[in-house]
Structure 1
Amino acid sequence: MADTPEAIKKSVRTYLIVFLALIVGTILTVLVAEWSVLDFGKHGFDTVDCVIGLTIATIKATLVAAIFMHLNHEKKAVYWLFGSGLCMVCSLAFLTALAMKDPIHDNLFYGKESMTPKMLASPTHR
């Protein structure tokens, strides 16, 4: 922690720089989503714009965690815990994407046994 007036001035300066970087990041995220000048990829909000927005959000979250939550002064064990949490989130996202690419094709899941009487009575399911 800051004990001297010089250290306090230095930490206040750091907090202000991070605060301004967060404001710029927020404005940049909104501009990427709204302005057609910064529209990368296809017209409208698409995958490229989403990746850019998530990259900006990741940088902002890292700044908040490192500076305001003081993770830049923590021990290695905290970094291992934080990194393992990120690995878990990435693996769960990968498993979700994998499940979306390989849907269930089972008669008991999508067959006539799982349909309601109203669905069975419709002419498209006969």
Structure 2
Amino acid sequence: MSGDDTADSTVLDRLYETVDSRRGQDPATSYTAKLFSRGTAKIAQKLGEEAVEAVIEAMRGDKRKLSEESADLLYHLMVLWADAGIKPAEVYAILAAREGISGIAEKEQRKHTSGGN
């Protein structure tokens, strides 16, 4: 960490803007541009890899490494959102709509409205 005490959730919005700005840039000079150039399947694969790494560190009980893998996971999620044309505000709105609703009730509601999982 940079030691910056002002770090907060707005960093996610800034990260998304940075990620989205890399679309179409030179893959030789930007890892994010390289991911975009490799397509949705590769981006999704990288997200899955980071999720597994986060799970491994959680099982090991290493908070620092779990925090690092969580940052990697969030970054790759932002790349996937940008690739799909999803803005963070869309996800935030869904989370806000679910706020205060039991997770069990919310999942049951999704089953009935979308035939979901």
Normalised by the length of structure 1, the TM-score is 0.33
Q: Which has the larger radius of gyration?
A: 1
Normalised by the length of structure 2, the TM-score is 0.35
* Higher RCO (C-alpha under 8 Å, 6+ residues apart): 2
